[in-house]
């Protein structure tokens, strides 16, 4: 293998960090095979490339690094001290690449792949466990990476590639997303059981205009819905507390801190009465969203199809 040593790397100093990855990465497997066989012909045969191609690649690698990696005697080679140092790092890099390839292949496996799925806190106690249980009847080996968060945070994570799908409310409307409405959930005005309205079963929201409210923090979908419904009823709610979790709000209502617009609880909580709101129509739409134009792996496609099949009966009775 002809060799012309270059005392300086071919890469410009200003672009070295950016360029070195592009220069080295395609040649690491070539280098590792030559180093392992200590023979160019045998390495070329294993790799399925012409010997001349492999020889030129090794010469160019040394020129780009500015370091001799091999001592040569005909087609037989041995590693220099620099070559042995480089080989250790090259083997670790190639092992990481192989590990990453195995991981993404496993995640895309049709029968045992992974779905990264986000959902609202209020969907966590009953709705999502029931969905996953039903889905896994036909897909028992599919794995789930679950993220529980509020709507805006999940959409950000979806856009960043951390989620495949998310179950959220309100149903988002954005040009980079695809969203499908799956169901709606009635909201109730929750009051303490000794409240002046506790003897009622139904109420117009305008009748609560003078009440103090406990709500979720701004950025939560349910907070936006609460503000919109109150505005439709003709008032701005007076807020005593802003929280992060609906059941915490229900407990604070029981403690007399205020009233709240909330979805039905998974388990009835003592100390509160839940009133049907007759006007305005107090519901929240729940939908599934994903990034537009992103291809689905088989397990994600299967779970998406399953969710869309649950339109109108997503929520537990």
Give the pair of three-digit tokens for residue 25. Answer: 């990465």
Per-residue pLDDT tens, the chain, 317 aa: give them: 444 444 444 544 444 455 667 667 778 999 999 999 999 999 999 999 999 999 999 999 999 888 999 998 877 899 999 999 999 999 999 999 999 999 999 999 999 999 999 999 889 989 999 999 999 999 999 999 999 999 999 999 999 999 999 999 999 999 999 999 999 999 999 999 999 999 999 999 999 999 999 999 998 999 999 999 999 999 999 999 999 999 999 999 999 999 999 999 988 899 999 999 999 999 999 999 999 999 999 999 999 999 999 999 998 76
pLDDT digits (tens, 9 = 90+) for 216-244: 999 899 999 999 999 999 999 999 999 99
Predicted confidence at residue 64, as pLDDT, reads 87
DSSP assignment of the chain equals ------SS-SS-GGGHHHHHHHHHGGGHHHHHHHHHHTBHHHHHHHHTS-HHHHHHHHHHHHHHHTS--EEEETTEEEE-HHHHHHHHHHHHHHHHHHHHHHHHHHHT-TTT-EEEEEE-GGGTTTHHHHHHHHHTTT-TT-EEEEEE--HHHHHHHHHTTS-SEEEESSPP--TTEEEEEEEEEE-EEEEETTSTTTT-SEEEGGGGTTSEEEEEPTTSHHHHHHHHHHHHTT---EEEEEES-HHHHHHHHHTTS-BEEEPPPSSPPTTEEEEEEEETT-EEEEEEEEETTPPPPHHHHHHHHHHHTTTT--S--
Q: How far apart are CA 9 and CA 259, in angstroms?
A: 71
Predicted confidence at residue 316, as pLDDT, reads 76
pLDDT digits (tens, 9 = 90+) for 150-179: 999 999 999 999 999 999 999 999 999 999
Predicted confidence at residue 254, as pLDDT, reads 97
Q: How far apart are CA 314 and CA 234, in angstroms?
A: 32
Predicted confidence at residue 1, as pLDDT, reads 46
Q: How far apart are CA 276 and CA 126, in angstroms?
A: 21
| pTM metric for this prediction | 0.80
DSSP assignment of 146-205 equals EEE--HHHHHHHHHTTS-SEEEESSPP--TTEEEEEEEEEE-EEEEETTSTTTT-SEEEG
């Amino acid at each position: 293998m002809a060799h012309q040593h270059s005392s300086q790397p071919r890469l410009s100093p200003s672009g070295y960090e950016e360029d070195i990855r592009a220069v080295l990465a395609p040649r690491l497997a070539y280098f590792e095979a030559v180093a392992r066989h200590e023979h160019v012909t045998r390495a070329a045969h294993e790799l399925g490339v012409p010997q001349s191609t492999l020889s030129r690649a090794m010469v160019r690698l040394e020129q780009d690094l500015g370091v001799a990696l091999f001592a040569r005697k005909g087609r037989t080679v041995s590693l220099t001290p620099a070559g042995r140092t480089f080989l250790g790092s090259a083997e670790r890099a190639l092992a990481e690449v192989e590990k990453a390839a195995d991981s993404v292949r496993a995640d895309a496996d049709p029968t045992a792949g992974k779905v990264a799925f986000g959902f609202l806190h209020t969907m966590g106690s009953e709705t999502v466990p029931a969905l996953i249980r039903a889905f896994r009847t036909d897909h028992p080996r599919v794995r789930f990476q679950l993220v529980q968060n509020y709507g805006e945070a999940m959409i950000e994570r979806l856009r960043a590639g951390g989620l495949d799908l998310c179950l959220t409310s309100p149903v988002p409307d954005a040009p980079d997303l695809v969203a499908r409405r799956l169901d709606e959930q009635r909201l109730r005005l929750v009051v303490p059981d000794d409240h002046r309205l506790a003897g009622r079963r139904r109420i117009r929201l305008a009748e609560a205009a003078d009440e103090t409210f406990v709500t979720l923090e701004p950025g939560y979908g349910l907070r936006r819905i609460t503000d919109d419904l109150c505005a439709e009823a003709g008032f701005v709610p007076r807020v005593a507390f802003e929280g992060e979790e609906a059941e915490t709000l229900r407990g604070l209502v029981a403690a007399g801190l205020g009233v709240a617009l909330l979805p039905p609880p998974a388990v009835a909580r003592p100390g509160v009465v839940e009133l049907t709101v007759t006007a305005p129509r107090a519901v929240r739409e729940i939908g599934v969203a994903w990034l537009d134009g992103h291809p689905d792996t088989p397990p994600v496609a299967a779970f998406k199809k399953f969710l869309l099949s649950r339109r109108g009966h997503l929520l537990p009775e």
